[in-house]
Amino acid sequence: MRFWGRGLSRPRTYPDSLGWCLMRLDQDVRTLTAELVDIASESGNEKPLADAVEAALTRLGHLTVDRDGSNVVARTHLGRPERVVVAGHLDTVPIAGNVPSRIDGDRLYGCGTTDMKSGVAVQLKLALLTEPNRDLTLVFYDCEEVEAARNGLGMLVREHPDWVRGDFAVLMEPTDGEIEGGCQGTMRAEVRTTGVRAHSARSWLGVNAVHRAAEILNRLLAYEPRKPVVDGLAYHEGLNAVRIDGGHAGNVIPDECVVTVNYRFAPDRTEAEAAGFLAEFFAGFDVRITDSAPGARPGLDHPIASAFAAIVGGPPQAKVAWTDVARFSALGVPAVNYGPGNPEVAHKRDEYVELAKIVEAERVMTSWLT
């Protein structure tokens, strides 16, 4: 069976105990992507891949390599006036019968191909640059696809901020080869109504809390999203009910109902301002914030970002979602999202990446840094 054309060799699937010693960074970036996919790294089980990345980077004498858990950071120390950080996560969502990788036409299929082992492959190729025009930090981290408390980049920001600081950062999340600036913040809140419990046969003796939730839903139906322009990019906010809980039994008038809402807010608002908006929007109801993460401004007015945008070409877009660029923003580091994968196919059973997009991303990043 022919898997690879155009001079590419079929990567093998490595046992966990051997994968770390076999990765070669001087191979074609498309082959390297497939090799990364074939080393399983579901969230929480990134160690074999982290071992492989660490071993490959340690062999390069121009880099210092640090590691904490399954998080690996490699840096040049050339005394350049600017430092660029390029980051990507090693983990994938659970495998769904889509490993090992396979090629079909111009696409590479497999778990993590688009989100984001193709981006990680480009990062690894950048490690071969011995004389980049800016000092370079490469960050490979774990547990991005699960709850924020386990996020490896978050841990590095808290525990080793000196490892990941720079003047500008590129997070190689899938963007289909476009620049997506900054990211929106996200906030979840519980909006609660109360009533009086009673037997449903004598409902007039109670007050139905579920019925009172109709006002919450009516306000959401009438909501008009903000569409602010932030640093030249147009964002689109969203406020939606994502869950409703209420009721005790089939013959009981409920005395409490909770509508969980998710607010996606543009990066011109702080978390405090977003919380204030929710309190005002749901005035008269009990509003409790249960989860929150700040947005990040695009930072595209930074000279480094301008140079990067010129090489990528095309107009940058706003990231209408939350990504880890917000963690760099918390350090005062402007950051953008850029990667070869198509976000619309991320996490799907038939996830794929276009081979040409991987090659183009390597060209763009290499051109920018040389």
**Tens digits of pLDDT across the chain (370 residues):** 223 444 454 444 444 444 444 789 999 999 999 999 999 999 999 999 999 999 999 999 999 999 999 999 999 999 999 999 999 999 999 999 999 999 999 999 999 999 999 999 999 999 999 999 999 999 999 999 988 889 999 999 999 999 999 999 999 999 999 999 989 999 999 999 999 999 999 999 999 999 999 999 999 999 999 999 998 899 999 999 999 999 999 999 999 999 999 999 999 999 999 999 999 999 999 999 999 989 998 878 888 888 899 999 988 999 888 889 999 988 888 889 999 999 999 999 999 999 999 999 999 999 999 9
Structural fold of domain 185-293: Alpha-Beta Plaits (3.30.70)
Residue 162 burial (10 A CB sphere; 0-12, 13-18, 19+): exposed
The answer to whether 116 and 88 have CB atoms below 8 angstroms apart is yes
Crossing angle between the packed helical segments 118-126 and 29-37, to the nearest 10 degrees: 130
pLDDT score at 8: 52
Q: How far apart are CA 174 and CA 144, in angstroms?
A: 13
Residue 91 annotated as catalytic: yes
Write down the pLDDT at residue 12.
45
Confirm whether 144 is a catalytic residue.
yes
Domain ranges of the chain: 16-182+296-369, 185-293
Residue 152 CA from chain centroid, whole number: 12
- Cα 178 to Cα 317: distance, rounded to the nearest angstrom: 7
User: Which of these is catalytic: 38, 46, 51, 91?
Assistant: 91
Q: Say whether 185-293 and 16-182+296-369 share the same fold.
A: no
Q: Which of 35, 38, 135, 144 is catalytic?
A: 144
- CATH class of the domain whose range is 16-182+296-369: alpha beta
Contact, 253 vs 206, CB < 8 A? yes
**CA atoms of 46 and 29, how far apart (whole Å):** 21
Written in H, E and C, the secondary structure of the chain is: CCCCCCCCCCCCCCCHHHHCCCCCCCCCHHHHHHHHHCCCCECCCCHHHHHHHHHHHHCCCCCEEEEECCEEEEECCCCCCCEEEEEEECCECCCCCCCCCEEECCEEECCCHHHHHHHHHHHHHHCCCCCCCCEEEEEEECCCCCCHHHCHHHHHHHHCHHHHCCCEEEECCCCCCCCEECECEEEEEEEEEECECEEHHHHHHCECHHHHHHHHHHHHHHCCCCCCEECCEECCCEEEEEEEEECCCCCEECCEEEEEEEEEECCCCCHHHHHHHHHHHCCCCEEEEEEEECCECCCCCCHHHHHHHHHHCCCCEECCCCCCHHHHHHCCCCEEECCCCCHHHCCCCCCEEEHHHHHHHHHHHHHHHC
Residue 55 carries which side chain, given as an amino acid letter? A
What Å distances lie between residue 40 and 44, 125, 203, 325, CA to CA? 11, 20, 56, 25
User: 59 vs 14, 49, 128, CA distance in Å?
Assistant: 20, 16, 10
Q: In whole angstroms, what is the distance from residue 89 CA to residue 42 CA?
A: 11
pLDDT tens track for 129-147? 999 999 999 999 999 998 8
Q: Are 201 and 337 in contact (CB under 8 A)?
A: no
| Cis bond upstream, residue 100 (ω within 30) | yes
